[in-house]
């Protein structure tokens, strides 16, 4: 397990694409397992993509989306936007 921050590449009504920033990875349990660039990130699908949002002078965290794809050779994470998730957990888009 690791926490990552990333640079958002694009945001649409359906998807959020984020580039992993390896110099900002966090090992939350101090296991010494920070992945190298190009690491096989398979198995992350279904995980949360948390977004830092702001409104005026207020900063807050919110569910941005649910991870649906990963491209390890590009260090790219793609998530379905949380706005498209129905009450039953299905994706509208």
User: pLDDT digits over 28-85, tens only?
Assistant: 778 887 778 888 877 888 889 988 888 889 999 889 999 999 888 888 999 999 888 8
Q: Domain range holding 19?
A: 6-84
Asked if residue 92 is part of any domain, the answer here is: no
pTM of the model: 0.75
Asked if residue 26 is part of any domain, the answer here is: yes
**21-26: long-range contacts at Cβ-Cβ below 8 A with a sequence spacing of 24 or more?**
22/75, 26/2
Asked if residue 41 is part of any domain, the answer here is: yes
Residues contacting residue 14 through CB under 8 Å, at least 6 positions apart: 80, 81, 84, 93
Asked if residue 68 is part of any domain, the answer here is: yes
Cβ neighbourhood burial of 36 (10 Å; 0-12, 13-18, 19+): exposed
Which residue, chain included where needed, has tokens 């296991």?
A: 31
Q: How many distinct structural domains can be found in the chain?
A: 1
Quote the Cα angle for 35-73-68, to 5°: 85
Asked if residue 46 is part of any domain, the answer here is: yes
Predicted local distance difference test score (pLDDT) of residue 2 = 63
Asked if residue 36 is part of any domain, the answer here is: yes
Q: Band of the pLDDT at 1, cuts 50, 70, 90?
A: low
Predicted local distance difference test score (pLDDT) of residue 6 = 77
Predicted local distance difference test score (pLDDT) of residue 35 = 78
Asked if residue 91 is part of any domain, the answer here is: no
């Amino acid at each position: 397990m690791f926490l990552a921050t990333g640079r958002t590449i694009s945001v649409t009504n359906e998807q959020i694409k984020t580039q992993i920033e390896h110099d900002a990875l966090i090992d939350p349990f101090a296991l010494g397992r920070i992945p190298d660039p190009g690491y096989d990130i398979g198995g992350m699908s279904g995980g949360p993509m948390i977004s830092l949002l702001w409104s005026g002078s207020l900063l807050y965290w919110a569910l941005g989306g649910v991870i649906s794809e990963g491209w390890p050779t590009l260090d790219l994470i793609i998530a379905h936007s949380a706005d498209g998730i129905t009450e039953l957990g299905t994706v509208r888009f």
